[in-house]
Chains A and B, each alone.
Chain A
Amino acid sequence: MSLFATAKFSSPAEEAAYNSAPTYFQWVHDLLPEPFFHTQAFLLFFLGVFVVYWTIPRKWQMTRIWLLVAASFHFYAAWSFELAFLVTGTTVADYLFGRVMDLSKRQGFRRAVMFTSIAMNLGILCYFKYRGFFLNELHSSLTGFGYDPSYGKLDLASLIIPFGISFYTFEAISYAVDVYRRKIAAETSFPRFLLFILFLPHLVSGPIVRAGDFLKQTRRPKRWNWVRMQVGVQLFLMGVFKKMAIADRMAVFCDPIFNEPDKYNTGAVWMAVLAYAIRIYCDFSGYSDMAVGLAHLLGYKLTNNFNMPYLAANVTEFWRRWHISLSTWLRDYLFIPLGGSRGGRWATHRNLLITMALGGLWHGAAWSYLLWGVAHGLMLVAHKQFKDFAVARPRLDAALQTTVGTGLRIFLTFFCVTMCWVLFQPDFGKALAMYERLFSLQLGQALPLHNRSLWYTAAFVLGCHLFVSYGWWQRVYNRAPAPVLGVGYAVCLCVAMVLAPDAGSSFIYFRF
């Protein structure tokens, strides 16, 4: 019994992989048909792991770590046992690269090992995620010039991309770079390193953890802590509510329009874009909340990935609040090595554009994702320029800092970010069709549902943001009696269940 109805396999390739898997892994797949945290199958699986984990005595720390490694491996193998072995194999290789780097004092050798590790990880990422895109573009270019490419176009939908490959690849790269820079020592304990990459809460969609933060925690024996359990449960429930009650409901509004924009009128397209902005935020932050919550339940703390990004007053602040683990990774391992802000204005702008373009491409193998990244890069550049302009004019700067000025800036930032979300899809043609319908009056079908629930949801999300940002939530939370909090958790979960739509959708960031 799943909490939402989905097909057993999302593609013929997955079904074929299941049929060819050994019986044991078919059984594992039947136990865990989908790698989604908010399904009954996963909750039962996690409950089993949780009970065994905390039953193991605290002094048997390595046993606990091995248990989590085994659970994480099976969680991944339930989807694809071959790719689970691939992830484990690359993790073993990264562990060995780190040990080799630490054993040598020769900088040139260490640099070569680091680049080998990066090349291996990026090579696997590019093979699985980008080969279809590049081969198809090459095919189109060759045929456009009248050459015979001697191969057919690949069906991108049939290619299996390992879940979470973009996330754990970045974690592995950050580890190699940090060991090379001697920011951290190479991990000597193999199971600890395995857990760093495979840890199931963050394995498939982040947050992207840093080795220094996580490996430290593996050395501290975990003690049962009710406060931590409460935080974990609370975060998990918040994530479930965001995913089921908000993100999946918004998908009912935006998916039909994003799939066939030409059929719908201008008003419907505007509503769909708003719905998508709410959806992608609640979908991804909901997943992150669930991941962080599950980690807390196991005694680990993962980095917070979102900080109410739609309350950002400018795009720079937006990227400090949205997908924080990715933006800090891009800053530390791409932007700063490119030169950061050190080389003057034009160099800074160039570095920003390169970083954001590659960040866009990280999300998906399509020109539209690249353009999305470039658009954000341009907005960051524009903000930097405008900020310098405003700072040089104190009256303008003061006006922008007033309540009205801040409100306008928040609205403008939200509007620009939302307009960019139209590009956040693999089909650039559909994005163009949507822009045409947004900015010219077009007739067509109305929204598939009455827009009343969309406005209520938007108002609710905005209300929650304000409730938290003004500190009211903290006051209520501190003063509410424990039983009231408990009943609140139960009501929150039941309301999430009631509001879940007919068929749940997979997490958007699972595609990356």
Chain B
Amino acid sequence: MTGNNAHDYARFDDSELVLQARTDSGAFGELYERYVKKIYSYIYYRTGNSHDAEDLTARVFHRALVHIETYVERGIPFSAWLYRIAHNLVANWHRDRTRRKVIPLDEFVAAGLRSEAPESMAESEEEREQLLAAIRRLPEERQQLLVLKFVDKLSNAEVGAIMDRSEGAIKSLYHRTLIALRDDLTALDAESDAPRPSHNLAHTR
């Protein structure tokens, strides 16, 4: 492997770039380009704000750079290794905080909302917030699974490598996660539909 220009790096797979990155920062730059957006998205949805997402994304890549000499691909692809670093940093981040932040609707998320009639937008926005709140009430590994699947759009094999589980176990976890989420939302609906003693019926849904 020779050459330091970006066109050359694009030809190599991750394993070759990892070896090269030990002595050549350009190769690390190519790995960074390949994964920075996915790692950022993952962290953004796990932390709920862009400031911490940027900070933790930077730390993921700094940590990867520091440890790249000792990284050995034993069945764990480089991308899965990066996600594991991100997962550990996010777990520490949650431990350091007593409260969880609400995911803000910043411009990127707002841009992702489908175009709808104005009157239905408020309702769907409320539903969306409800769903996000229910997701945040899930155990950590289930949140991780949903983000890896729906945000980073990884295959079950890739998710399995990151979470150290078989593909079958990932499918089963996904099934159980959906059931838990549905049950949570149903309970929430039932709660809000139930008449409250201190309110008259006109205020209930």
Partners in one complex: no
